[in-house]
Amino acid sequence: MANRHDRARIQKGALTAEQAEKLFATVDETGHTNEETAKKQRKRRKELGHGVDVDPLSDADPSGSNVEKVITKTAVGFVIVFLAIVVVSQVSCGLVRRANTADLAENADLTSVASALHGGVEWGNGFTQFPDTFSVQEADENTHRIEVTVVDTTSQNALEAFSGAQIQATAFAVNSLLNPNINTVTYHVNVHVDENGKYQQSALFGLLQPKGEVKTIMTFVWTKTTNENGVVRFNCTITGLDQNMQDQLRDNITSSFTPTSVISNVLGTSENEKDSKSESKADSATSSTEAAAATSDESATSSDGGSSATVESTSSSAQ
């Protein structure tokens, strides 16, 4: 049996559930059941500027403010306008660049070659740019030659200079050799070096140029030949790579992280290969010395004519 204190206390004069539901069914937005009173309340709110009907279950701002919607629309509009400007700028720049790029296959003179080096040439699916500092030594369809010189101010070592110059020289030379009146393209690559021979680079987005000594590190010579069957052949010759330059390229390409170096260090074959090469060179030198001594002995015991013939044969073999 439940305790007296546990029972719910019913307030005297309280509405039952049915009575409360019936009462609130007649209540409008003003909170009044009497139509005359509700009408007066609506008129009063309208005159005082509080004539907005508020729905408590609605997400709308009771004050009627739409700042959130305005901010959202503004942000979306800004993003759309920004993307449109970017797309239009890219398309416009591409069209302007293609319109201003010199067509070396049609015309190759000093002006067109300088324009190509300044604005770049089409290569692959885009453009290949060249260093900002360049000069044109020759560009003449009568002599069938083009010769230019560029100054690389962005590379830090021989490998960067070689890889970048190779792409630039190939793009420039192929575009030029497509001209039927051009058969030879010479592309010189210069760099600035300090007193220690280290490459110098430009600074502040190219505004500050290096002041070191200008040195030619390599030259690409492209030639075009056509055989009797009409087959066109492009040939590339790289000159100017001294022993120091070759050593730098070899050190940069064959680093300690290449698979051959790692395997050699693990298996310990590098030193053995060096020793075997040294031994083979020593054996070759020894055998050559013994052969020369034997030849000298034989020539001493033969006649004068035979001795002369033997000396001539030895000399020709040495050469």
Instruction: Give per-residue pLDDT as tens, 192-210.
Output: 988 887 888 888 766 788 8
What are the distances in angstroms from CA 11 to CA 15, 18, 71, 270? Answer: 9, 16, 51, 102
**What percent of the chain clears pLDDT 70, i.e. is strictly above it?**
63
The pLDDT assigned to 8 comes to 61
Q: Which residue has the higher pLDDT, 96 or 63?
A: 96
28-32, 164-168, 267-271: which has the minimum mean pLDDT? 267-271
pLDDT at position 139 is 92
| pLDDT of 105 strictly over 60 | yes
Mean pLDDT of 134-145: 93
How far, in Å, CA of 136 to CA of 156, rounded? 25
Write down the pTM of the prediction. 0.54
> Residue 149 has what pLDDT?
95
DSSP string spanning the chain?
---TTTSPPPPTT---HHHHHHHHHT--TTS-SSHHHHHHHHHHHHHHT------TT--S-TT---HHHHHHHHHHHHHHHHHHHHHHHHHHHHHHHHHHS--TTT--SHHHHHHHHHH-EEETTEEE---SEEEEEEEETTTTEEEEEEEE-S--SHHHHHHHHHHHHHHHHHHHHTSTT--EEEEEEEEEE-TTS-B---BTTTTB---SEEEEEEEEEEEEEE-TT--EEEEEEEE---HHHHHHHHHHHS-TTSHHHHHHHHHT-HHHHHHHHHHHHHHHHHHHHHHHHHHHHHHHHS-HHHHHHHHHHHHHHH-
Q: How far is CA 190 from the centre of its chain?
A: 22
Selection from 117, 102, 115, 182 nearest residue 151 by Cα: 117
Task: Output the average pLDDT for the chain.
Answer: 74
Triad 38, 41, 44: Cα angle to 5°: 155
Distance of alpha carbon 207 from alpha carbon 270, whole angstroms: 47
Looking only at the bridges linking them, the beta strands covering 145-152 and 213-226 are unpaired
215: Cα separation from own chain's centroid: 26
| pLDDT tens for each residue of 252-278 | 776 656 555 555 555 555 444 545 555
Beta 232-239 vs 213-226: how paired, if at all?
Answer: antiparallel
Quick check: 215 pLDDT over 80? yes
**Residue 144 pLDDT > 60:** yes
- The residues, ordered by sequence, that sit 6+ positions from 215 with a Cβ below 8 Å of its Cβ are 190, 191, 192, 193
User: pLDDT above 90 covers what percent of the chain?
Assistant: 24
